[in-house]
Structure 1
Amino acid sequence: MGWLDSLKHRARQLKQHTLTVYFAARDPRTPLLVRLLALLVAAYALSPIDLIPDFIPVIGYLDDLLLIPLGLALVVKLTPPEVLNSAREQAQQAADKPVSYGAAAFILLIWLLLAWLLVRWIGAWVGAD
């Protein structure tokens, strides 16, 4: 197994853990503080603002490579086992669902159309000055 296969495997594992934490956070049996921690980890993972900006070589991605997995691990550790088992089952079912490439292509076309319209609007606005 090459480094690319290993990287793909790790990415699938991270996706699986993220889905598990998502479903655990939505479960009413999960303690409130754990739910809040899960929300913070997800918000940080999706936020464009980092503690260390990504444009700083090497160190910029270090916070993403450490904080997000550590946050996910902490949420998993603090989640009650019965909730975690249920969340893992839900995450597995969600991951096993087929991917709709047609729907993805349609959404991509909408985004491209919106980007094209935005560029035209900005061009007309700048040209009007």
Structure 2
Amino acid sequence: MRDWLVGAAIAVVLLLVSWALLILLVRRLPPGIMRDLAAFVPDCVTTVRRLRADPRVPRRAKIAVLIAAIWVASPVDLIPEFLPVIGPLDDIVVVALALRYAARRVPRDVILAAWPGQPRLIERLLGTPPP
């Protein structure tokens, strides 16, 4: 039993170290599309957290963004994360769909205020506002 716990602790430490390394590497990316894509999922996580706390967001939209957050945090993926470029694609698609769903039920300014990243990215994701 003790060996199993030591192995699990080592795995958690390695996971945290790899995340820290990825964060450091992302911060060194030059401005452009690759940096925007690298920051997309963390920006989405922040947006989900802010939308869940906002009382102007209806329950169905909160549930949709919560499901997207669980999907991103889940170790089970349709496309394994270790595949270069396409690994995080399923996470990005699920989060984008959940945010678009929520955006149809929430005032646009609430979504824009919750988005911590570049406004042009969320504007593009949400599409043109209805007239």
TM-score by length of structure 1 reads: 0.49
Q: Which structure has greater helix proportion? A: 1
TM-score under structure 2 length normalisation? 0.49
